[in-house]
Amino acid sequence: MLGLSDLAPSTALALANALLGIHFAVVAFNVAMPPAILMGAWRGWRWVRARPLRLLHLGSMLVVALQAALGDLCFLTVWESELRTVAGQSGYEQSFIEAWLEAALYVDAPLEALVAIYLAWAALSISLWWWVPPKTQSVKR
């Protein structure tokens, strides 16, 4: 069975960059959904009540909050870091959010602060399930 160390450095780097893009998309999705749900409820957007979308968001947020509460790095961060190491780059020494917040915003945020933010955002996401309940889609014939 092939392991990460069997990958060519160029392949490992391409996979690491793809994971970075996926990770960014997950973060953007998790951050954007609660405001979108609130605005959508106010504006009458039906898509914000779609049960599959809401389940995907709630599940994703709960995974993030649980990992943070347990003190674990996000598995996407771990995989990307391992791939970057195989590609000959240095891996992350901190969480994805810490690394990118520091690089993009020059903010040195301790993990404890990020855990509080994740848990608060997860609580908001759970609350939205009742404030703006999802609806099952009716089958049109």
pLDDT confidence of 131, banded at 50, 70, 90? very high
Average the pLDDT over 112-131 and give the result: 91
Provide the β-strand partners of residue 50: 135
Closest C-alpha among 139, 126, 138 to residue 30 = 126
What 3-state class would DSSP assign to 135?
strand
- Alpha carbon distance 9, 11 (integer Å): 5
Closest C-alpha among 59, 62, 55, 34 to residue 136 = 55
Per-residue model confidence (pLDDT) at position 97: 62
Percent of the chain with pLDDT over 90: 42
Q: Do residues 80 and 16 lie in contact, with contact meaning Cβ atoms separated by under 8 Å?
A: yes
- Tell me the whole-structure pTM to 2 decimals: 0.78
Residue 26 has pLDDT above 60, yes or no: yes
**The amino acid at 46:** R
In the chain, domain spans: 8-131
**The amino acid at 107:** V
